Structure 1
Amino acid sequence: MDRMRNGPAVLSFWVALVFFPAADLTHDPWWAEAAALTAVSCCYLLSVWAAFERPAAARMALAALTGLTLAGCAVYGGTWFYLCPLVSIACGLVLRGRAVPAALAAVTLASMAVTLWKGGGQDAVAAVAWGTGIAGVVVHVTLQLHSTRRELARAAVAEERERFSRDLHDLLGHTLSLMVVKAEAVRRLIPRDTASAARQAADIETIGRQALAEVRAAVSGYRGRGLAGELEAAGAALREAGVRAVVGGAGVRLAPRADELLGWAVREGVTNVIRHAGATVCEIGIREEGGEVVLEIENDGVTVPGDGDGDGDGGHERGGGDGGGHERGHERGHGLRGLAERASAAGAAFEAGPVPGGRFRLRMAVPR
């Protein structure tokens, strides 16, 4: 059950409505009525405080409160009708779901009937109905709004966690792939060219430091290096992996949001080429097309059905797994799926899959 901060203390204040029938007792003391008022006060306070911790006890207190209040109105009349809102407040607080409107309607109609039976006119009946009904509705709506706000807060936290995990994956996936490529180069070079191996090892150290800085920047809220920085890093990574990089249209001016999104697309697309494609050439093109900026990353590393992929289509799926269509097996990763989610959130068009000529293409069109 949702808890309102300071809810019991705030709602307990309304027990002060007992003052009106209690004031009448100072002029005409009647111990039975005094005992009834005390019981009403206790039942109301118990229902309010138990509603947040002990719902079963709260419902029992609510039932006793309802019976005592309506009986008191029927027997004593007069200022006892001021206590009817206490019943509706307790209903709105203790009950949940469809029971609330039904209970509020029943309490309101019962209080109107008792008022009419005691000889009250239309004004009295209307006043009792208004006070009784609106008190419960306000409490119920307040609780619903509080519950909705809590759910929205939970959803926002969950969404932010998912976004951050996706960002961290995208940041580290590219960098770690490059480090693996360089480590393989070191292993190959050690037997015949120790100087080159040492340079590659130094590059691994530099890349590792850069990755650490990027992770720290991501923790601080930074979302990426932008398109220009990613293109530069992509060219270096492809060359180190033995893939010829062809980059065109890098001078297109972009809005910050489009620059960020296309930067992530370059990072993820090139990471997939290095890790999974077995490509020899990777072409990266950027152009303006209508009111959009279009990025295309195309490579010649498509695998064919029957070569061990096991999925019957070369492993390519539109907006699919981390392998960008090159990863073997059925396991779906987070890279392209995360990129597709980014594109959808930004209103961009995204697709990734094989194209004629034994090539694989990643395409993203971002509104300017």
Structure 2
Amino acid sequence: MTTERDTWLDPLREGERGPDAKGMYMWVAVTAAPVWDIAHGRSHPLWVAWPAALAAAGLYVVTTHFAFADRRRALPVLGLLAVVVLASAAGFRHNWLYLIVMLAVATGVTVRGRILPVVLFAECGAALAVAVAAGASLTGVLSMMWGTFTAGLIPAIIIRLWEAIHELKATREELARAAVTEERLRFSRDLHDLLGHTLSVMVVKAEAVRRLSRVDADAAAGQAADIEQVGRQALTEVRAAVTGYRGRGLAAELDSARAALADAGIGATVRTSSVRPDPEIDALLGWAVREGVTNVVRHSRATSCAIGLRDDGGLLVLEIRDDGPPKKAQGHGNGLIGLRERVRAAGGTVETMAPQEGGFLLRVAVPYAKENDE
């Protein structure tokens, strides 16, 4: 259903192309003014007046046609039209002066850029000279000059506005295509981060099952149980990721982290900030909690985990610390690599370190803008 707002933002509905030559041909009717003078015997000699009127009409039609079809060919024809119109107006005067307005319309649809006002002012000057020579009153002279200028300026503005609308529509479509491409890349990266390591573990354990099945059934059963556990964990992560694409944020991830840590027998301490970041940063921090807690559950052998979020002078700092055995700081896993890319895109940083007292620390700092409460 198309709303009034949609129509306003996108006036180029299907089948609409904006101004064209056919819409400008109507101004050839201005030649009726000199034809009136010819018919009433005010334009002599007739063998010059009739060809002049017909030439002005024909050149105007050709100029407007080329203005929309091939503007380079329109410019010389416009020059010839200007010669015919100005010579005829100066020679026959009276209603022939209206041809200058028709000339201005042709100029407005043909000439582009900064040269247009210059050309229109020149035509206004010519209109002034011809009107004064014809003995027109001050009101008539001013009306002629104003009519000439606006007759050229208004079509030019309308055409430029429609061209701008076309350009904006094309830009919007290109941005939409780029957004789809970026989302596909992000999805593929997320899928790799979620399943790459898990599937590798499952393949290794499946090979172990195949080797042990003939020599140690109990060991093979243990490996098969591990495959089942890893598969269930992968399913949980995929469901969490899909939920994340639907708008899962920091609060929901913290709840999931508490549950995951409790299931793993790891005590959880969570401290949050009262700051409400915008949805993009909120989702990013949620992803960081998910990645950090997943690593704690999988690799840390910890008994407790502390998750803290604080405001540090325009930065939101998330820290996830466990008390597992001492280990070297790790920062090259697929999950952390993907997290670094996302945080870097948001203007933040990711740090990993192994404190001297043991355990592992993941620190994520991102700039934030507060969510509008309205």
TM (norm. structure 2) is 0.69
Deviation at 1:272, TM superposition (A): 9.1
Alignment check: 8 A CA contact 1:174 1:267 kept: no
Aligned to 1:227: 250
Q: Which residue of 1 aligns with 2:9?
A: none
> 2:270 matched to which residue of 1?
248
Match among 166, 170, 175 for residue 154 of structure 1: 170
Moved more, 67-76 or 78-87: 78-87
Aligned equivalents of 1:272, 1:89: Cα separation in 2: 68
16-25 vs 108-117, which moves further: 16-25
Structure 1: any 5+ residue segments left out of the alignment? 310-320, 326-332, 341-349
Task: Give the corresponding residue for 2:22.
Answer: 9
Cα separation, partners in 2 of 1:188 and 1:126, compared to 1, 3 Å? same
Tell me the distance in 2 between the aligned counterparts of 1:234 and 1:303.
21
> What is the letter of the counterpart of residue 18 of structure 2?
R
- Pick from 128, 132, 135 the counterpart of residue 112 of structure 1: 128
The secondary structure found in structure 2 opposite 1:128 is: helix
SS in 1 for 2:348: strand
SS at match of 1:362: strand
Q: For 1:54, give the aligned amino acid.
A: D
Question: SS of the residue aligned with 2:169?
Answer: helix
Which residue identity is paired with 2:107? C
Bigger mean CA deviation after superposition, 19-28 or 201-210: 201-210
Residues 85-121 of structure 1, C-alpha deviation per residue, up to 9 Å, x if partnerless?
2222222221222221111111111111111122223
Q: Which amino acid aligns with 1:26?
A: A
Q: Aligned to 2:68, what secondary structure does the other structure show?
A: coil
Contact 2:101 / 2:147 at 8 angstroms: preserved in 1?
Answer: yes
Selected match of 1:362 from 347, 358, 364: 364
In the alignment, is residue 130 of structure 1 matched against residue 152 of structure 2? no
3-state DSSP of counterpart to 1:25: helix
Give the deviation of 1:71 after TM superposition.
0.8
Higher Cα Rg: structure 1 or 2?
2
Q: What value does the CA root-mean-square deviation take over the aligned residues? A: 4.2
Aligned residue identity for 2:102: L
Query: What 5-or-longer segments of structure 2 have no aligned partner?
Result: 1-15, 209-219, 322-326, 356-360
> AA paired with 1:155?
T
**Percentage identity across paired residues of the two chains:** 22
Corresponding residue to 2:349 among 352, 357, 364: 352
SS at match of 2:18: coil
Aligned pairs for 1:301-340 within 5 A: 335-338=342-345, 340=346
Q: Distance in 2 between matches of 1:71 and 1:158?
A: 50
* Amino acid corresponding to residue 142 of structure 1 in structure 2: I
Matches within 5 A, 1:51-130: 51-130=67-146
Q: 1:262 aligns with which of 282, 285, 301?
A: 282
For residues 150-175 of structure 1, the C-alpha deviation after alignment (integer angstroms, 9 at most, x for no partner) is: 33333333444444444444444334
Shift of residue 269, structure 1, vs aligned partner = 7.5
Alignment of 1:10-25 (within 5 A): 10-25=23-38
1:48 Cα offset (Å) = 1.2
| Correspondence 1:197 to 2:227 | yes
SS class of match (2:136)? coil
Give the match for residue 184 of structure 1. Answer: 200
Residues 177 and 271 in structure 1, CA contact (< 8 A), matched pair in contact too: no
Name the aligned partner's letter for residue 343 of structure 2. L
